[in-house]
Amino acid sequence: MNFLYPNILWLAVLVPLIALYYIFVARREATLTVSTTGTRRAPRTLRYWLRHAPIVLRLVAFVMFIIALARPVEITHESETTTDGIDIVLSMDISGTMLARDFKPDRLTAAKRLAAEFVAERRGDRIAVVAFAGEAFTQAPLTSDQATVETMLSRLRSGVVEDGTAIGNGLATAVNRLRESSAKSKVIILLTDGVNNRGQVSPLMAAEIARDMGIKVYTIGVGTRGRAPYPAVDIFGNQTTVMADVEIDEELLREIASMTGGKYYRAVDNDALRAIYDEINTLEKSKVQVTEYQNYEEHFIVWVVLGLLLLCLEFLIDKVVLNRLP
């Protein structure tokens, strides 16, 4: 229970003071001493047991009125949230080179895990997932269901489509996912570790379409600088690891980002990729407006009624049962 005027409750300290006064002063002054010599002890009737009831009822009624004066209320909180969300498409490279182990445990697994962490932070936004290698496909359409997006990210695998790196197709498919979006802000995060060598759509042509549609593209090149360990199979069919050059078309990725108002990033390890997602998360903030309401339901009338009932009961006991006439 909440009180609008809680300081009034301090008046309750008068109750024990009044009770002490009644016990040690008022009751003694009202006592009549009668000789008991040669008389039998009178039986204890109802009047005997109720002789202190009036003062008790009056004190309890006094407490009821104090509580009523303090204005007991029940407060309920309500909030109204208005979200101006962002539509985001994660376009992710799943080509064979994404299995390189310069990230832990490999590029693709690290990219999926950190992308899922990014998705978990984007409450109120709609997110889609596009995957590409030699061709592109939609893994998850635009949805605000974060759990669904995270599940679909976890199911991405290398080798499900023709191998290669069709950056143009991956970007064009992501743009297509935003074609009918009415969001005020539309973003594509394009992640790749290679050079465009497949597909029917030029990456710059897809970037021009994104620019004309007001879509901002953040590009991420993943891979260490120099050489990186790649999984391979030897002539006997055994799994092995070979060192190969890391080739990322950074110039192309920079141009795509520049054309659309985005930014290019280079991630050389897990920590760098996590920092990139954190920065994009900071740059692309959704507008969330929360309006809170407080409703007050008054309960003082209950305590007033209880106090009046106790005073009525005290009057009846005092004037009817105990027959205390003025």
- In single-letter form, the type of residue at position 225 comes to R
Report which of 33, 143, 134 is spatially closest to residue 88, judged by C-alpha positions.
Answer: 143
pLDDT in tens, 145-192: 999 999 999 999 999 999 999 999 999 999 999 998 888 899 999 999
- Torsion angle of alpha carbons 247, 248, 250, 251, nearest 10°? 60
Average pLDDT over residues 91-101: 95
pLDDT in tens, 130-155: 999 999 999 999 998 999 999 999 99
What's the pLDDT score for residue 321?
Answer: 67
Task: Give the gyration radius of the chain's Cα atoms.
Answer: 40
Q: What percent of the chain has pLDDT over 90?
A: 51
Check pLDDT > 60 for residue 81: no
E-strand ranges in the chain read: 2-3, 72-84, 86-93, 126-132, 136-143, 185-192, 215-222, 227-233, 239-245, 264-267, 287-298
pLDDT in tens, 260-269: 999 999 999 9
Comparing 222 with 61, the larger pLDDT belongs to 222
Domain 86-285 has CATH 3.40.50.410: yes
Q: Where are the domains of the chain?
A: 2-28+44-77+294-321, 86-285
